[in-house]
Chain A
Amino acid sequence: MTETREDIYGEVSAIIQEVTGMQAADVSPKKSIVDDLDIDSLSMVEIGVAVEDKFAVEITDAEMPKIVTVEDLIDHIEQAMAARD
C-alpha cells in the first residue's frame, strides 16, 4: 500500500466536504468532527460509510464513538488498512 497519511487526509477531507458541503479550509486534522465541524450524527454515519467504501475498511458501531477528531479517523483508516494488508 503506497497511500501516505497525506493522501488519506486529502481523501477524508474530500469526503467530509462532499457529505457536508463544507469548504476545504474549514476542515483540519485536530478539529472535532461533531463539535468543531458541527456535523450531525447522520452526516457522521454517512462520512463513515463513505470512508469504509473508499478505503475498503470497516468502522464498527463500537469504534465509531471513539473517533472524535479528523486525525482519529485517519489513524483508524491507517490501522485498519495495515491490519488488512
Chain B
Amino acid sequence: MKIRASLAVLVFAGLSGSAIAQDPNLARNLAATCANCHGTNGHAVAEAKKLAGEPAESIIQTMAEFRSGDKPATIMHQIVKGYTEEQIELIANYFAAQE
C-alpha cells in the first residue's frame, strides 16, 4: 500500500508537471487547509482527530470511504469531495511524515 501511494504521488507529479509546474511545497500547503479542525501539521488538540503520524494508506482509505459514503460522517463526506484523489494522497503522505 505504501509503495502504491508513493507511486501515485510520483505519477501525479509527472502528470501535473506536463500541464503546470507543481509547487515544491504543494503537499504542505494542501495539508494546511486541514489544520483549522485537525491542528497545525495534524497535531490536533481537544477531541479532534489527530492526523500527524497516521499511516498515509489509512488516511487515503478513510477519505475514499467518506467519498463513497461507505463511512458515515457529519461533514467529512462533503469536504473530501472538494479535493481530487491526487490532492488527498499528497495530504495523506504529508501528515504521515509528521512526527
Are A and B bound to each other?
A: no
